[in-house]
Every structure is written in C-alpha cells, then in structure tokens.
Structure 1
Amino acid sequence: MLDTTTLDLDGAQGTLLTQAAYKQDFRDREWEIEGRDSWKLERRQHFHEAGNASWKAFIQGDWSEALRLIESRREALMQFSRKAEDHGVALYRVRVVEEPLSPYVQWELNSLRVRAECGERIRLVFPQQIAPLESSGKLPELVTLGGRTLYDIRYTASGVPDGAVRFIDPDLVESCEAVMRSLYEAGEDVASYVEREVAHLPPPQAQ
C-alpha cells in the first residue's frame, strides 16, 4: 500500500504486466474514464524512446530535425486533446527536473512545451520540492486513469520501458493522485521554464 510520505508502492498489492500487456491494458481503459482526470508523474532524467522519431533524430545528433519532428506532431496532439475534452478528461503531468539538465530532459522539455500548447496541463517541480517524498528512494514513474487505475511504470537501468504494475484500489489511486495534485499546484508552468532556461541553450549532446 501507499506510504503517504514517500509514494512507495507495494508491488505485491498490484498486478505485474509485461510491456505488451501494459500497453493493451492502458488502451482498454483509456476512454472508460468519462469526466475524470488522468495524471502522470515523471521522475527519471533519461528514457529510451525507440518509437519516437524526434528522439531518434536527437540521439543521432540532428537537433534541428528533432525540433522539426516535435513541431510536426502538433496537429495530432491537438486532435488527442480535443478527444480528451469531448470525453470530459483533463490531462495532467508533473515532470521532475534536475539541473543541470540532462540531454534527454532538454529534448523532452521542448516536446512538453508543444504538448502544453496543445492542451496538456504540465508543470515542473525540482529536487528540493520532492526531497521530503524521497526519504526512502526516488519517486516512481506513475500514470493514473480517472481515479480508477494506477500504473507504476517500470524501466530497465538504461530507461527502456519494461512493463508496469497495475493497482485498482480506489483509495490508493486517490492518494497517489492527491500527492501528484499537490506537486502540480507547487510546480512551474513548463512554458515559462522553457522560455527562461531552455530556449537559449545550445543543442544537447545525446549520451
């Protein structure tokens, strides 16, 4: 169960899903949350996004192409946001940002800025803000759907997606969403941060 001071989750209380099973389970549940919110918490400073064309351009050293491909997704993101709005679903994301920025986070923040412009509600928090929640380790990567389903997303050491643990205890989901909501309320809008701290940076060198 949830430790309200750390967001620790007991995997034994959930259902372990392979990556393929997680993706299918998420698709099955995604639009069953009519009139409810979806929350996402990102903590890792590096992910491996093999299916993302912009990320591939970034790791290949073509920064201008990476940015162009981010921008090219704007219409698809707008369509997704309109669909979410039609279902009464608000999309929230809390992104933990460590400074100096990792190359991955510099790339991702440009992507998140466009997502925010297309309707996703995205704010950033920083290590000092989450320190009280990390007394026993770093925060997990979490996604919730409508107060009904919580996924603890798993990754390999190199950031490759590796399935998830699904929880459906409504009290647990509600508690986790409350923590994310609190972080969101204390966070900085992604657009203002990118304008101030990211837009002027030279292209990142992929690790």
Structure 2
Amino acid sequence: MLDLRAPTLPHELGEYLARADYKRDFRERRVALRNSASWKLERLQHFEEIGDASRDALRRGDWQGALRLFDARRDALVASAADDARRGSAFNRLRIVEEPLTPYVQWELHWLRLSAECGHHVRVLPASAVAASETEGMLPELTILGGRVLYRVVYTESGTPDGAMRFTDPETVGRWAAFISDAYATADDVRRYFTRVVEPLPPPQAA
C-alpha cells in the first residue's frame, strides 16, 4: 500500500462544467501547456464511452474489429506524443485495476498498451495499492493540467460522462498532483502489465 493518504477534494471549491463546456475548457488549456507535467487518474472499472467506434464494436462482441479500430489510430497517437514532447508537456496516465479485469478494462488496456508503444506515458497500479486511501469510497476520476487546474470528471450511474467539476485552488491542485505523482512512481509500466496479465486472456464478453 502507499504510505500516503489521498488528500480531500472539497466540493465547494469546485465549479461544475457541463460536458461540452468541460471538453472545450480542457482542450484550450491543454493546447496552451508548455514545459509542465499533467496527470490523469482512472479508477472506475466500467465506462460507457460516447462516440467511440471501438467501444461500440466491443458492445457488439466484435473483438477483432475493436482492436483493428485501435490500430487504425496508431499514427494519430504517435503524432500526439510527439507534440507533447515538443511542448515539454508530458501527460502521465495512471490506471487503477481490479482483477479479474472487467471487459471494459481489458479492452482499455489494449488501447493503453498501444498508446505507450506510440510514446505516451502510461502506468498501471492494482487497487490494493490504494486501499488505504479508499476507506470512505473509491478515488475520484481526475485530470490535472500543468499543476494549475484539476478536473474531477463526473459520470452517471451507468458510467456515461456527465461533465466535470473544475478546481483551480493552487493548494488543492498541488496536493492531488503530488499524490498522483507518488502513486505513479510505484506503478508498473502498462506494457509489462499487459504482457503478464492481459495477453493470456481470451477475448472479453460484450459489455
């Protein structure tokens, strides 16, 4: 387990952004980043992605089609990783996993492995490693851009995206960035995890 406990995230310090506003705000801020690290923490084990052809293929049970659609995006992944490197703005993604893997997470780990192969920074951490921080509930879904803004992504009960809470208080953002950074430092490279855990698995059931 990690020695540190996750910091608090006081709801009253945040500002709710509807999904379209969140996407626009996130995109504008990320494009403007220079020479600063960003962090993404993923904890939920099931999501309902919107407008993702590969996710739709998984729902239909077309596993090979889902993987082909991932591979078709390889060039775009390489380009985005190169752009991050040019701007000195690494985007570090930490995926918390529970085993046995849900169909969604098994599918997503194929995408994250491909992302890492294309130059993105992705690590995997077992849920047991953050148990000390989850005595009162699961860790939130967070993205931190450049140490200046934190988004707590909001989902419906079915796992559909529903906007985000935006936090800009420097102390709050800084504490969470430090927590995710420390957790990331203990995590496994997604490619090693994939070879050990994901590669031997049969195709997941439609989900």
- What band does the TM-score fall into relative to the shorter chain? over 0.9
Give the drift of 1:60: 0.6
Aligned to 1:132: 132
Q: Which runs of 5+ in 1 are unaligned?
A: none
Provide the C-alpha distance between the structure 2 equivalents of 1:184 and 1:206, rounded to a whole number of angstroms: 30
Aligned to 1:69: 69
Q: How does 1:146-165 map to 2 (within 5 A)?
A: 146-165=146-165
Aligned to 2:172: 172
Letter paired with 2:193 = Y
The Cα RMSD (Å) is: 1.1
Letter paired with 1:134 = E
What are the superposed Cα offsets for residues 8-62 of structure 1, whole Å, 9 maximum, x if unpaired?
Answer: 3112111111111100111121122210011000000001112111111111111
Aligned partner of residue 112 in structure 1, secondary structure: helix
Native 8 Å contact 2:9 2:172 kept in 1: no
Aligned to 1:49: 49
Aligned to 1:187: 187
Native 8 Å contact 2:35 2:87 kept in 1: yes
Letter paired with 1:190 = V
Q: Which runs of 4+ in 1 moved over 6 A?
A: none
Once the two structures are aligned, what percentage of the paired residues are identical?
A: 48
What are the superposed Cα offsets for residues 68-103 of structure 1, whole Å, 9 maximum, x if unpaired?
Answer: 111111100111111111111111011000000000
Aligned to 2:93: 93
Aligned partner of residue 70 in structure 1, secondary structure: helix
Q: How does 1:107-122 map to 2 (within 5 A)?
A: 107-122=107-122
Provide the C-alpha distance between the structure 2 equivalents of 1:11 and 1:65, rounded to a whole number of angstroms: 41
Aligned partner of residue 31 in structure 2, secondary structure: coil
